[in-house]
Amino acid sequence: MVANRNFYEPLWRDARLVEPERFNTWPLVSQLLTKATCHLEVAPGLRPRLPVDGTAFVDISMHALTKLAVGSGRPVMASIGRLPFADETFDLLCALDIIEHVDDDQRAMAELARVATIGATLLLSTPLHPEMWTPFDDFVGHRRRYEPKQIQALLHHHGFIIERSAVFGMKPRSSLLLDLGMWFLQHRRERAMKWYNRVMPYTMRLQKSLQLHEGLINTDEVGEVLLVCKRVSPGSTPS
């Protein structure tokens, strides 16, 4: 967690909050909100996908939490491994690009299951295929990339089934852009963040619409996946 905080706290210090309506997840989220009454998003930084107003947010970055509070969110300083909420509190949960960062993913998933109501929806994304590991994974503090069967087993063990899924994330055509971005964040952070804040609104237009499919998609050569999961009673979880 210390390594993650050391990376993301300076990042969010100079970044701006991006409204969830600007992401390609918003049509899906809008649909889910019609039936959800209590929402939690874990580790959104300044890129929340659930509506800021009325959503409980957990993060380890004080800079992110402060800016989410200004936007009428309900921010709490905590980690995914110890969520400060009662059992079966939330019927819509979001944990994008987080499970691959934690040392103990079993505990993290157990906490998500604990605070979810039976029938709750969990939006979860994670990178796939260890053989796709790049220096960028190290740079942003990833602990692992999952094999598809591993993430399925982790979810099933904690009472979640995958209802729908889609290819996720924006993959650059060349690694040169990522390499350049990493260098600037390491050596010219202030300049990098000014550039990022200026360019971010335009890059949002490059997002492709989510192509959701029933169950788990064919993940061959898929670098990152978005999973729409349902919390079920342990007895009804597939083996």
User: Tens place of pLDDT for every residue, the chain, 239 residues?
Assistant: 555 556 666 667 777 888 999 999 999 999 999 999 999 999 999 899 999 999 999 999 998 899 899 867 799 999 999 999 999 999 999 999 999 999 999 999 999 999 999 999 999 999 999 999 988 788 778 899 999 999 999 999 999 999 999 999 755 555 555 555 555 556 565 666 665 666 665 566 678 899 999 999 999 999 999 999 999 976 555 54
Helices and strands counted in the chain (H then E): 8, 8
Q: Judge contact between 51 and 66, C-beta under 8 A.
A: no
CA distance 84 to 94: 16
pLDDT at 239: 44
pLDDT at 135: 80
Domains and CATH numbers, the chain: 2-169+209-233 (3.40.50.150)
Neighbours of 137 (CB within 10 A): 16
pLDDT at 37: 94
Neighbours of 129 (CB within 10 A): 16
E strands in 61-208: 74-77, 90-96, 116-127, 160-167
Q: Judge contact between 122 and 112, C-beta under 8 A.
A: yes
E strands in 79-223: 90-96, 116-127, 160-167, 213-214
Angle at 98 between CA 226 and CA 48, to 5 degrees: 75
Task: Report the chain's terminal Cα–Cα distance, integer Å.
Answer: 31
pTM of the model: 0.85
pLDDT at 157: 96
pLDDT at 175: 59
SS3 145: coil
pLDDT at 196: 60
**C-alpha pair distances (Å), 83 with each of 47, 76, 109, 227:** 20, 9, 11, 21
pLDDT at 15: 77
Q: Name beta bridge partners: 121.
A: 92, 230
pLDDT at 141: 81
Nearest to 168 by CA among 100, 224, 220, 228: 224
